[in-house]
Chain A
Amino acid sequence: MGNSFEKFRKNDVYLIVILIVIGIAGLILMQAVKKQGGTVVVKVDGKVYKELKLSENQTVEIVNDKGNKNILEIKDGKVDMTYADCNNQVCVNHKKIMYNGETIICMPNDVIVEIHSDDDSNVDAVAR
């Protein structure tokens, strides 16, 4: 038993390598099916709140049932959450998204922003 604390066992190394390979393969796969998205779907409390065109520059205010507010900005084909009145600000710090299947989620306010392609068949392939 004492020995096992000092060094990696062979099985540990296999496990770590396999997990990293799965992760990288997943990333490559996602990169491969990546397409410029067409529609920005905003969901609040699990229901579709608004559908916006990625090609149109606009700023949208999202207010949920409890009155919490998020502000979403679409500019030059990129979507960015610029404001949220939640406490963790994960969504505001999230990078801008532009590809099919990418999301920005504001967990506290239950707001989800998803990019769908116009033919929309690709989302499931990315998300599966």
Chain B
Amino acid sequence: MKKVALYGMYVTLAFVFSYIEHVIMPVNGIPGIKLGLANVVVVTALYIHGVRTGMFVNIVRIILAGLLFGNLFGIIYSMAGGMTSFIVMVIMKKTDRFSIKGVSVTGGVMHNIAQIAVAAVMLKTKAVFSYLPVLIIAGTIMGVLVGVISSFVVPAVKKYENI
């Protein structure tokens, strides 16, 4: 029962962040640039509760947000980005060579690279790769932001973990 409540809270939070991003999203016409705020929740869940919870929150959020704010097309993109970035973050965390910031930076960048790759396949054009440099830089900056926020959130939430 406790687990249900916990999962529900994480999913809700991630979902709210997705909504906020949906509202404030369009940034000077470069497609795909997002803050990745929902990733704070995913990273937090990963660090406190482990891979399974993080994965669960990630998948449920993507499907919910996709159905409400996007379309089936959007879900495919989000899923590719979200899953790739999550798996790479898990691997990075396992190596234990990076702090939560390094892990979330990798997540941010991989998210963007995966989405470009999916776009290239679905739209059958290589031209989308011309966005790659901008998206790598954006992913890095947003990843640092998410990592710094998470580094405050994780110890704060950890205090309540045993309730």
- Residues of A1-41 at the interface with B, using a CB-CB cut-off of 8 Å, are 2, 4-9, 11-12, 15-16, 19-20, 22-27, 29-30
Bin the interface of chain A by size: 35 or more
Q: Which residues of B contact A (CB under 8 A)?
A: 26, 28-31, 71, 73, 97-102, 105-106, 109, 119, 123-130, 132-134, 136-137, 139-140, 144, 147, 151-152, 154-155
Using Cβ atoms and an 8 Å threshold, which residues of chain A touch B140?
Answer: 16, 19-20, 23
Interface of B is mostly: helix
Pair A127/B130 contact, Cβ less than 8 Å? yes
Pair A127/B102 contact, Cβ less than 8 Å? no
Q: In the complex, which of the residues A2, A27, A90, A112 contacts B133, with contact meaning CB atoms closer than 8 Å?
A: A27
Using Cβ atoms and an 8 Å threshold, which residues of chain A touch B31?
Answer: 90, 94, 105, 107
**Shortest Cβ distance from B92 into chain A, in angstroms?**
9
Q: In the complex, which of the residues A27, A88, A124 contacts B126, with contact meaning CB atoms closer than 8 Å?
A: A124
**Shortest Cβ distance from B40 into chain A, in angstroms?**
13
| Cβ of A66 under 8 Å from chain B | no
**Shortest Cβ distance from A59 into chain B, in angstroms?**
20
User: What would be 10 A-B contacts, judged by CB atoms less than 8 Å apart?
Assistant: A9-B101, A11-B97, A20-B140, A23-B133, A23-B140, A30-B133, A90-B29, A102-B127, A110-B123, A112-B125
Residue ID in chain A nearest B97 by CB atoms = A11
Pair A11/B98 contact, Cβ less than 8 Å? yes
**Shortest Cβ distance from B117 into chain A, in angstroms?**
13
Decide: A93 near B26, CB < 8 A? Known: A2-B155, A127-B129. Answer: yes
Using Cβ atoms and an 8 Å threshold, which residues of chain A touch B109?
Answer: 19
Decide: A89 near B26, CB < 8 A? Known: A12-B105, A103-B128. Answer: yes
- How far, in angstroms, from A5 to B134 measured CA to CA in the complex? 28
**Shortest Cβ distance from B13 into chain A, in angstroms?**
19
- How far, in angstroms, from A88 to B74 measured CA to CA in the complex? 11
**Shortest Cβ distance from A58 into chain B, in angstroms?**
21
- How far, in angstroms, from A110 to B76 measured CA to CA in the complex? 14
Pair B125/A43 contact, Cβ less than 8 Å? yes
